Amino acid sequence: EVQLVESGGGLVQPGGSLRLSCAASGFTLSEHYIDWVRQAPGKGLEWVGRTRDKAMSHTTEYAASVKGRFTISRDDSENSLYLQMNSLKTEDTALYYCARSSDNWNDVLHSWGQGTLVTVSS
């Protein structure tokens, strides 16, 4: 079964760091584009960033709200990828999803994980 599973969420103080993981089963993660999307409690969806597939050297894109603070990386040997979040702010509190996309502009966010909750609070 094709599946994405996020982990690593939790409570962190403002200014702190957290690393989220997105693990894949049933497919090879390195061959796919993966996006991160977040949803603050009671709010809408916000695209956070993307990592492209191995053919595109896993290059990345980010939303302005997280650029310079968040970094997406991969460990192809573990079939996983990571969202390193630094200098966290209270407004980063959200449920974070990873989602699979295809390597073209047409086919994005077709499969989602269940999400992991990040709470930034003192």
Partner 1 sequence: DIQMTQSPSAMSASVGDRVTITCRASQGISNYLSWFQQKPGKVPKRLIYTSSSLQSGVPSRFSGSGSGTEFTLTISSLQPEDFATYYCLQHNSYPFTFGPGTKVDIK
DSSP state of 67: B
Q: Is 47 in the site for partner 1 (CB under 8 A)?
A: yes
Nearer CB in complex with partner 1: 13/25: 25
Q: Which two tokens stand for residue 94?
A: 């959200």
For residue 93, with 0-12 CB atoms within 10 Å meaning exposed, 13-18 middle and 19 or more buried, which class applies? Answer: middle
- Name the minimum Å distance from CB 98 to partner 1: 11
Q: Determine the Cα angle at 26 with ends 109 and 108, to 5°.
A: 10
Q: Is 119 in the site for partner 1 (CB under 8 A)?
A: no
| Amino acid at position 92, single letter | D
Nearer CB in complex with partner 1: 12/113: 113
Choose one: 11-19, 23-31, 57-65, 85-93; the region binding partner 1 (CB under 8 A).
Answer: 57-65
- Give the total residue count for the chain: 122
**Which residues bind to partner 1, rule: CB under 8 A?**
35, 37, 44-47, 50, 61-64, 97, 105-110, 112-115
